[in-house]
Structures are given as structure tokens and as C-alpha cells.
């Protein structure tokens, strides 16, 4: 079991970029009219966002905004990681394309991570691990995560159409060499036998489409996520490290409510953004975190789970103030 | 967790209610895929409600190997008693 701890890591800013164009599940014609309200009630999803722009363009806008809210410059960035499964071009990586577009330093570590719903936590872990190895006083990183996946959905698929939504998020992270206190703990797990719960296939028209087995995503999430979180929380050294808020990947309400029940959490401590934004894969955690950043003053639990089947949780100590912004384009 | 779904009458009552059908229209012999309201969404809601009431998890693999409500009832009964 990969439980790790990291010192000196600080989230210094979050920018969410959300497409303005939305679709309403109450008007989703592939679902029988009498069933639509039930669908919204049980999935928790009313609106889904649709991007006409590729994921790289959304990342690009997020980086520009992140530079503004943090006051950082492109020359400050030591690491650029992009977590996505929906690149327009498979070669070269989106991170390298953005490196070229923004003219990042030649020394900037730059690569993509192919990960979905658990990807934000995986990205944070990768950056936390890398930053501490860089020989400078306050190395800085950008974590871009999210997907434009709605073009992968079959127009008549009642399992995927009501759920998936496009959005991205960019998180600015800094490492303080002089800070010896633990500010992040992670528990990363993979249950590869669940690889068929969410996958892509080539259909008869030679088009790549995403498939979802909702019952298996439910079963894997309910079986593995609560135990992953419990194991991580047990590593907290002091009562101060126990999280007041829990930010889950926004899968759907059935799954998220079941996890809340298994952990016996107060629902008021588990913010949700499903209704407005749907399931935005690896962007859903930072998007949801931003809805309560002003109230969280200490440790927060983040948990991503899904495609893989992959489960990743983090206990993160947030600074007193994290600049953040959610923009629609 | 509250409903004792290991009792046949309660299980059928619960199933009828969750799938929005009359209890008179189903029995343990009913093939669940033939129930008019059985859909990917309703199947997911039904499986999640079984979990909520009994803590039993049923996968798509389980469903692919069985046909009727009696076999779902049997799965719940077995797993509820620690054979999960």
C-alpha cells in the first residue's frame, strides 16, 4: 500500500476553466420524459458542460489566469504536469505543446499523466514528490488537469450522456525547503481488475467512444474508496490533521452518497458541485474545493476514484489563503 | 441499513417499490430483465438501494450470471451472512 507523506508543499492558487455551453438533463431526449426528473434526483446532475475547444486550449487559458492570481511568471515554473485522457494529439504531450506555446524554461520538467477521475490526487502526489528533489529554495509547479470527453460519448448512450461533462483546472503548488512540517499525506491504490468499469472502444463507424458500467463503478467505489480514506486518516499524527471537509471526485450522487454513508460523514462537510457541472473527471476535485476554500482553514481530505480502477486520497494542509477563480469561457 | 431483505415478502415488496411496479406482477421466478422498468439507470438505483439497506454489493458480473429475482434474493441472503 503506497501511503506517503510530504513536507513543505503548499497549494498557492487554483483556477477552474468551465465551458459556458451547458446541456440540461431535464431536456435530454434520449431519456424518457417521465424518467428525467428521477435521473436528475439520483445522479445529482442537472447540467453538463460542453467544450467546443480542445483540452489544450482550456489548459492554456487556465495557465494564463493562474499566473495572474498568483503573481508568478512563466520563468518561475519548475514543473508543468498535465493530467488528461483526452488530448487532441497523442504526440507530443500536451505539456510539451504548452511548454512551446508559453516558452517555459528549458529546465522545466514537463510531461503528461494519463489518468481520469483519480488524476488530481495522482498529479498532486507526483508534484509533491518532484518538487522536494529540485535544488532551489522555493520551486514551483503547475498542475493542469481535466478532460474534454463529451465528444467521446455515443449520442444514444443513456449511461454516459447524462453524466460526463467538460472542464479543466490549474493548480499552482510551491515547495518551501525550510518548512519541515508535514503538509500532505497520500494513499494511492489501483484495482486493475476493475479496468472494464470505464473504458473506450472503437465502434462500427471507427469512432472512439467511452463506455461506462455504472453498476461496477458503484461497486468498486463503495468497496474500495472508504477503506482507502480510513487507512489514510489513520496516519494522521495529531487531531489537528483530521479533516473538517471532504472533497470527493464528483462521480454521481448515488456513488458519492454511498461513500458518505460508509464513512458516516456529516453531509454538510462534503460539498457537491454535481448539479451545476456534472462529472468533470480529474477537474471535479479542484472545482468542488474552490466552493469552500474560504471556509477551510486547516486540513482537507481529497479523494479521487474511477477509471482504472484507480483510487487516490490525500490529506492536505491548506494555507490560510488560497487565491482561486472559476471562469466560464 | 434497516430492511430485512432476507425475508421473501419484504424483498419482493422492496423490489416492486424500487422498480415502480405492482408487487402482484412479480415473484422470485420473474426474470428481472423482463421487468418493463428495468433500465441501466433503474438497475443502478436498485443495486445501490440494496447496498444501502443490507451493505451487500452486487456487480454487473453477478447479474450476468443470473436471470431471476430469486437469484438476486439468494445473493443477498448469502452475502448478508458473510459469504461475500
pLDDT of residue A37: 95
Same fold, A2-175 and A188-320: yes
Question: What are the extents of the domains in chain A?
Answer: 2-175, 188-320
Residues of A in contact with B44 (CB under 8 A): 42, 214-215, 218, 254
pLDDT at residue B83, rounded to an integer: 46
ipTM of the complex: 0.90
- Chain B residues at the A interface, defined by Cβ less than 8 Å, are 39-41, 43-45, 47-48, 51-52, 57-61, 63
Task: Pick A2-175's CATH classification: 3.60.10.10, 3.90.280.10, 3.40.47.10, 2.70.40.10.
Answer: 3.40.47.10
Residue B31 is part of a domain; what is its CATH number? 1.10.1200.10
* Residue in A closest to B46 by C-alpha: A215
- Asked if residue B29 is part of any domain, the answer here is yes
| Contact at CB, A218 and B43, closer than 8 angstroms | no
Q: Which residues of chain A have pLDDT under 70?
A: 1
Q: Is residue B35 part of a domain?
A: yes
- Kindly state whether A213 is in contact with chain B, defined as any CB-CB distance less than 8 angstroms: yes
Residues on chain B touching A255 (C-beta within 8 angstroms): 48
Cβ–Cβ gap A215/B60 under 8 Å: yes
Across the interface, whether the CB atoms of B52 and A258 are under 8 A apart is answered yes
Q: Please report the number of interchain residue pairs, chain A to chain B, with beta-carbon separation below 8 angstroms.
A: 48
Strand order in the sheet with A77-83: A109-113, A77-83, A140-147, A167-175, A9-18, A324-328
Number of structural domains in chain B: 1
Find how far residue B58's CA is from the centre of its chain.
Answer: 9
Give domain status of residue B52, yes or no.
yes
Chain B residues in contact with A213 (beta carbon < 8 A): 60
Do B12 and B29 contact (CB within 8 A), yes or no? no
DSSP labels, A26-56:
GG-TTS-GGGHHHHHHHH---EEE--SS-HH
pLDDT at B84: 46
- CB-nearest to B48 from A158, A216, A218 is A218
Fold classified for A188-320: Peroxisomal Thiolase; Chain A, domain 1 (3.40.47)
Residues in B touching A218 (Cβ below 8 Å): 44, 47-48, 51
Q: Does any CB of chain B come closer than 8 Å to the CB of residue A159?
A: yes
- Is the Cβ of A69 closer than 8 Å to some Cβ of chain B? no
User: What torsion do the CA atoms of B1, B3, B5, B6 make, to the nearest 10 degrees?
Assistant: 90
Please tell me the number of Cα atoms within 13 Å of B79 on its side-chain side.
Answer: 18
Print burial letters for B26-62: b (CB count within 10 Å at least 16), e (below 16). Answer: beeebebeebeeebebbbbbbbbbbbbbbebbbbbeb
| pLDDT tens by residue, B16-45 | 999 999 989 999 999 999 999 998 889 999
Nearest Cα to Cα of residue A224 among A235, A234, A216, A214: A216
Among chain A residues, the shortest Cα distance to B43 is held by: A215
Residue B82 has pLDDT above 80, yes or no: no
User: In which domain, by residue range, is B12 found?
Assistant: 8-83
DSSP-derived pairing of the beta strands A109-113 and A208-212: unpaired
Q: Strand A310-317 vs strand A2-7: parallel, antiparallel, or unpaired?
A: unpaired
Amino acid at each position: 500500500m503506497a501511503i506517503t507523506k510530504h513536507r513543505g508543499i503548499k497549494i498557492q492558487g487554483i483556477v477552474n476553466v468551465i465551458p459556458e455551453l451547458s446541456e440540461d438533463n431535464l431536456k435530454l431526449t434520449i431519456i424518457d420524459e417521465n424518467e428525467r426528473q428521477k435521473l436528475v434526483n439520483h445522479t445529482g446532475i442537472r447540467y453538463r458542460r460542453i467544450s467546443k475547444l480542445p483540452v489544450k486550449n482550456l489548459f492554456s487559458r487556465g495557465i494564463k489566469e493562474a499566473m495572474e492570481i498568483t503573481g508568478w511568471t512563466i520563468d518561475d515554473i519548475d514543473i508543468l504536469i498535465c493530467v488528461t485522457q483526452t488530448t487532441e494529439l497523442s504526440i507530443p504531450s500536451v505539456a510539451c505543446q504548452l511548454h512551446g506555446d508559453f516558452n517555459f524554461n528549458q529546465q522545466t520538467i514537463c510531461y503528461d499523466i494519463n489518468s481520469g477521475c483519480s488524476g488530481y490526487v495522482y498529479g498532486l502526489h507526483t508534484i509533491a514528490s518532484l518538487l522536494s528533489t529540485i535544488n532551489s529554495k522555493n520551486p514551483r509547479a503547475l498542475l493542469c488537469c481535466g478532460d474534454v470527453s463529451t465528444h467521446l460519448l455515443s449520442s444514444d448512450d443513456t449511461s454516459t450522456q447524462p453524466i460526463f461533462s467538460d472542464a479543466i483546472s490549474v493548480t499552482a503548488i510551491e515547495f518551501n525547503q525550510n518548512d519541515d512540517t508535514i503538509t500532505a499525506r497520500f494513499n494511492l491504490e489501483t484495482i486493475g481488475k476493475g479496468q472494464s468499469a470505464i473504458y473506450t472502444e472503437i465502434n462500427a463507424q471507427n469512432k472512439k467512444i467511452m463506455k461506462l458500467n455504472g453498476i461496477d463503478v458503484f461497486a468498486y467505489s463503495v468497496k474500495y474508496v472508504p477503506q482507502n480514506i480510513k487507512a489514510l486518516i489513520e496516519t494522521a499524527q495529531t487531531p489537528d490533521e483530521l479533516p473538517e471537509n471532504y472533497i470527493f471526485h464528483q462521480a454521481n450522487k448515488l456513488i458519492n452518497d454511498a461513500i458518505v454513508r460508509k464513512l458516516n460523514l456529516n453531509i454538510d462537510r462534503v460539498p457537491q458541485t454535481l448539479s451545476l457541472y456534472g462529472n468533470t473527471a480529474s477537474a471535479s476535485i479542484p472545482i468542488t474545493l474552490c466552493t469552500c476554500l474560504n471556509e477551510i482553514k486547516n486540513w482537507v481530505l481529497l479523494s479521487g476514484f474511477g477509471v482504472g480502477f484507480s483510487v487516490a486520497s490525500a490529506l492536505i494542509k491548506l494555507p490560510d489563503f488560497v487565491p482561486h477563480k472559476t471562469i466560464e469561457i | 441499513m434497516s430492511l430485512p431483505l432476507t425475508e421473501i415478502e419484504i424483498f419482493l415488496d422492496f423490489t416492486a417499490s424500487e422498480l415502480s411496479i405492482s408487487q402482484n406482477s412479480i415473484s422470485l421466478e420473474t426474470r428481472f430483465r423482463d421487468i418493463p422498468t428495468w433500465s441501466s439507470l433503474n438497475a443502478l438505483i436498485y443495486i445501490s438501494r440494496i447496498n444501502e439497506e443490507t451493505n451487500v454489493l452486487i456487480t454487473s458480473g453477478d447479474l450476468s450470471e443470473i436471470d431471476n429475482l430469486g437469484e438476486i434474493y439468494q445473493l443477498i441472503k448469502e452475502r448478508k451472512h458473510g459469504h461475500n
